[in-house]
A and B are shown apart, each in its own frame.
Chain A
Amino acid sequence: MSVYAKPLSADIVSRTDNTMVLSMGPQHPSTHGVLQIVLEIDSENVVKADPEIGYLHTGIEKTAEGLFWTQAQTAIERMDYLAPESNSLCYALAVERLLGITDRIPPRAQVVRVLIAELTRIASHCVWLGTHGIDLGAISVFFYCFDLRENILDFQEAAGGARMHPNYVRIGGLNGDLPDGSLPRLDALIAKFPGRMRELRGLLQANPIFQDRTIDVGYLSPDDAIQYGVTGPSLRGSGVAYDVRRAYPYCGYETYDFDVPTRVEGDAYARFLVRLDEMEQSMRIVEQARRRLDTPGPVMIDDTKVALPPKETIALSMEALIHHFKVISEGFRVPPGDVYQSVEGPRGELGYYIVSNGDNRPYRVRTRPPSLYNLQALKCIAPGNLIADLVVMIGSLDPVFGEVDR
């Protein structure tokens, strides 16, 4: 332990009142990762909760600075590991803006991006719902959720080659078109979804134990939510209808028909309902994207300075061979400048502030991880509740520590 173990601070040692300090985590089954919460408790009641983060600090932003623009995406996908494609989509959109090629991305690529982003949201909410259920003692819901998630991961694996970090969205478009057989697979998923959703709602929504544990627990007022910078379902559960897809559309979200579910109660149950509604809205978008996929087309920008030339041209064209060599061996250069781009990730507004100095590597990749801001709200909502309810509150904020600590 030695160098890392901090001695107890003076104010803890010389405490004379009735409260005590309890450390929850970093290894705890219900903190959703490596979160430590330094709790000040008065018997069972939480007086103060201080999240201690950094147990998963990976230096992803720093690592990204040493990689080519395209390679950096591989590191960036590992931030929010429940929704890797949201990360890579946001990063790709930001770099495309710096390159000035946003308008030249093929429409089919944008449709598939929307499709993948929404499927990712459903998969991420599945993990949230499953673990939230386990935290509250409802084990079965976990199996239903992970079964649905498995179908989505299979689809991703077919498209991108990996279950969790497919790196499918690329700067300039996509890694490749959806493979043969994807669309029937997608249709099967769309057909399965409503029934599965009914089952999930049936397991929890009207369950009296679940309601007892979540209703009026962890109330977050709209003002506090805005003050803390909370976004996503946690903000919409407090009655603020802010959604990046609506406020600052990207990838043609303005052409899709969907609602932004909100609740005004602001408690854990409201956040639960908002996420369930969101899953259904995501599926609505997926269905619309599916209908647009019938028309074939290119999925990568036709610009060999950024994208690799088609494989079949390399053996025939000298220029294609040179471009291929250049893009692979030294990447591409991005004009100097900075840009902030945000997308609506499953947890809220996920943003990248990217600075380029004209090199073939990013100068700075600053992330705005929604989980970090949402987690801060724990300080605000925890006091006055029981320790047992803390688990509910953490679950209802849905933090992912890969992106909190980065």
Chain B
Amino acid sequence: MSVGPGQFMLARLDDVARWAQSSSVWPLTMGLACCAIEMMTVTSAEYDIARLGSEVFRSSPRQADLMIVSGRVAQKMGPVVKRLYDQMADPKWVISMGACASSGGMFDNYAVIQGVDTIIPVDVYVPGCPPTPDGLLYAVNLIQQQIRQGGRGGIVAKA
């Protein structure tokens, strides 16, 4: 759709803002385990998360919108993950990537937190050990859908 000279488009401010927000979901650079490698792979040429506007991995939680919990969360790492989540500015979203982050996975033992959702709220779970990059791309898609529909954490523009 192109807008020529002298033409204009009408839209609700809400929709435009959500569209813009959903097209620039910046993830936090936080690699934990195996899944972190697949998280890096989505930025590579073959998967190219830049198509979704999410290629800008931010090292500071203050600048990130999306936390991808990529891998098993050890008991020692739990407080760190929680603090990073708290440091992220609202609105923020969380993807729990892989079996370990979602439920502890195969490591049902003393060392691993049995699901990151016991310490921070999770929006999308991605199954797999590790999930394929396509799986993660789909999860980012779901986050975008959530934002466009004004789901949890999405901005609420008031007149």
A residues neighboring B (CB under 8 Å)? 1, 4-5, 26-29, 33-34, 54-60, 62-63, 74-75, 78, 81-82, 127, 130-131, 142-143, 146-147, 149-150, 163-165, 401-402, 405
B72 & A56 in contact (Cβ 8 Å cutoff): yes
B40 & A405 in contact (Cβ 8 Å cutoff): no
B29 & A164 in contact (Cβ 8 Å cutoff): no
Q: Which residues of A contact B61 (CB under 8 A)?
A: 27
Q: Which residues of A contact B83 (CB under 8 A)?
A: 1
B84 to A, closest residue via Cβ: A27
In the complex, besides A1-B83, A26-B80, A164-B34, 8 extra interface pairs with C-beta distance below 8 angstroms are: A4-B78, A27-B61, A33-B32, A57-B76, A59-B107, A78-B34, A401-B33, A402-B33
- The answer to whether A150 and B79 touch (CB under 8 A), given A55-B74, A56-B74, is no
A53 to B, closest residue via Cβ: B76
Closest 8 A/B residue pairs (Cβ): A59-B111, A146-B44, A81-B34, A59-B109, A29-B59, A29-B29, A55-B77, A4-B79
Instruction: Sample 27 A-B pairs with CB under 8 A, ordered by A number.
Output: A1-B79, A1-B82, A1-B83, A5-B79, A27-B30, A27-B80, A28-B59, A29-B29, A33-B32, A33-B36, A34-B32, A55-B74, A56-B72, A56-B77, A58-B33, A59-B109, A62-B109, A74-B106, A78-B106, A81-B37, A82-B37, A130-B40, A142-B44, A147-B45, A163-B38, A164-B34, A164-B37
> What CA separation (Å) do A175 and B147 show in the bound complex?
44
> What CA separation (Å) do A364 and B109 show in the bound complex?
16
Query: Nearest-CB distance from A148 to chain B (Å)?
Result: 10
Q: Which residues of A contact B76 (CB under 8 A)?
A: 4, 54-55, 57
Q: Which residues of B contact A60 (CB under 8 A)?
A: 107
Pick the residue among B32, B71, B107 that contacts A63 (CB under 8 A).
B107
- The answer to whether A57 and B111 touch (CB under 8 A), given A78-B34, A147-B46, A164-B34, is yes
B38 & A56 in contact (Cβ 8 Å cutoff): no
> What CA separation (Å) do A27 and B82 show in the bound complex?
12
> What CA separation (Å) do A356 and B112 show in the bound complex?
26
Q: Which residues of B contact A142 (CB under 8 A)?
A: 43-44
Query: Nearest-CB distance from A91 to chain B (Å)?
Result: 16
Q: Which residues of A contact B36 (CB under 8 A)?
A: 33
**Interface: B115 (CB within 8 A):** no
- The answer to whether A26 and B77 touch (CB under 8 A), given A56-B32, A163-B132, is yes
A63 & B106 in contact (Cβ 8 Å cutoff): yes
**Interface: B31 (CB within 8 A):** yes
> What CA separation (Å) do A17 and B29 show in the bound complex?
35
Q: Which residues of B contact A34 (CB under 8 A)?
A: 31-32, 77, 80
Residues 52-80 of B at the A interface (beta carbon under 8 Å) = 57, 59, 61, 71-72, 74-80
- The answer to whether A33 and B129 touch (CB under 8 A), given A5-B79, A54-B76, is no
> What CA separation (Å) do A209 and B35 show in the bound complex?
31
Query: Nearest-CB distance from A54 to chain B (Å)?
Result: 5
Pick the residue among B37, B44, B82 that contacts A143 (CB under 8 A).
B44
> What CA separation (Å) do A82 and B77 show in the bound complex?
21
> What CA separation (Å) do A289 and B110 show in the bound complex?
42
Query: Nearest-CB distance from B125 to chain A (Å)?
Result: 19
**Interface: B154 (CB within 8 A):** no
A52 to B, closest residue via Cβ: B76
A57 & B74 in contact (Cβ 8 Å cutoff): yes
> What CA separation (Å) do A163 and B111 show in the bound complex?
26
B71 to A, closest residue via Cβ: A56
A55 & B29 in contact (Cβ 8 Å cutoff): no
B112 & A143 in contact (Cβ 8 Å cutoff): no
**Interface: B41 (CB within 8 A):** yes
A58 & B74 in contact (Cβ 8 Å cutoff): yes
Pick the residue among A1, A4, A81, A150 that contacts B33 (CB under 8 A).
A81
